[in-house]
Amino acid sequence: MKKLSFHPDDSVNAFITTIPEVSYGDGPLSGVTVAVKDNISTRGIETTCGSKILKGYIPPFDAHVVTLLKDAGAAIAGKTNMDEFGMGSSTENSAYGPTLNPLDHSRVPGGSSGGSAAAVAAGLVDCAIGSDTGGSIRCPASFCGIVGLKPTYGRVSRYGLIAYANSLEQVGPLARDVSTLSRLYSVMTGYDPRDGTSVDRPYSHTPSAEIKGLRIGVPDDFFGEGVNTKVAETVRKAVETLESLGARAEPCSLPSMKYALSACYVISTSEASSNLARFDGI
């Protein structure tokens, strides 16, 4: 086991807890610094979910994904700021103060994994892990100009993730580029018998910039009521760029989209009321 000094200039309040001297081993992620969202259990390191309710709580075990990262040689650098218990989309709703967007301190980094995204975007760590229920990895990655992925449910073990809406949320990676993200993700996807939804199937993917011939579905339903016109224009331009590189955009429809937001609110709030009752006694 080797030691690495870690004293980040955290002017964006990306971290709740940092590890001054981190340890790393041998493996595919040897020496890579990884920040962990503060709702993912880390043995011996305070885990608060961005809440004063859990201040002082130190888990006696690692989440499965943290064990996999350590076994691959990664250095766990600290726990990142988040909207309290994952409820928010801006990382302003933390008991430990808001996280700022490294690209523009007057703007939010997105949420609820804004601390993880900001830590990567600011260059404080090589990569990070977060959790995504309804956009909590994908939005911060977009806001901060990095790469983020919400995995298919069951691909990454949820063991050790402090539940908010357990049938929707997933642990996923964030990094500055696709290659680093793929390296991190390949380690995170190990099977876990303690998670009944865990998929026992090896992950293999070699990132490539070649997209010629790929078909990209563009649902008309994504550009309807409530979508900011500038956002819609930006996405359309991105689709045009993909087409110019040889991909084929195919219009399609997802009629169920009109129910998606309502369904998300019903499922997530009902599950949260059950999962979080253990903390407030209500």
User: pLDDT grade, residue 177 (50/70/90)?
Assistant: very high
When pLDDT is averaged across residues 73-96 and rounded to a whole number, the result is 97
Digit-coded pLDDT (tens) for 105-115: 999 999 999 99
When pLDDT is averaged across residues 151-172 and rounded to a whole number, the result is 96
| Confidence at residue 205, expressed as pLDDT on a 0 to 100 scale | 85
When pLDDT is averaged across residues 43-66 and rounded to a whole number, the result is 97
**Active site residue: 51, 90, 94, 112, which one?**
112
Q: What is the mean pLDDT of the chain?
A: 95
| Confidence at residue 225, expressed as pLDDT on a 0 to 100 scale | 83
3 is catalytic: no
| Confidence at residue 204, expressed as pLDDT on a 0 to 100 scale | 85
**Active site residue: 90, 94, 136, 157, which one?**
136
244 is catalytic: no
When pLDDT is averaged across residues 187-201 and rounded to a whole number, the result is 95
User: pLDDT grade, residue 281 (50/70/90)?
Assistant: confident
Residue 126 has pLDDT above 80, yes or no: yes
Residue 28 has pLDDT above 90, yes or no: yes
In the chain, the percentage of residues whose pLDDT exceeds 70 is 100
When pLDDT is averaged across residues 86-105 and rounded to a whole number, the result is 97
**Active site residue: 37, 70, 79, 150, which one?**
37
Which residues, 6+ apart, have CB-to-CB distance to 16 below 8 Å? 38, 46, 48, 50, 78, 79, 80, 81, 94, 96, 115
| Confidence at residue 4, expressed as pLDDT on a 0 to 100 scale | 85
Residue 282 has pLDDT above 90, yes or no: no
CB 86 within 8 A of CB 115: no
| Confidence at residue 182, expressed as pLDDT on a 0 to 100 scale | 95
179 is catalytic: no
Domains in the chain: ranges and CATH: 2-204 (3.90.1300.10)
Digit-coded pLDDT (tens) for 205-233: 889 989 999 999 999 999 988 899 999 99
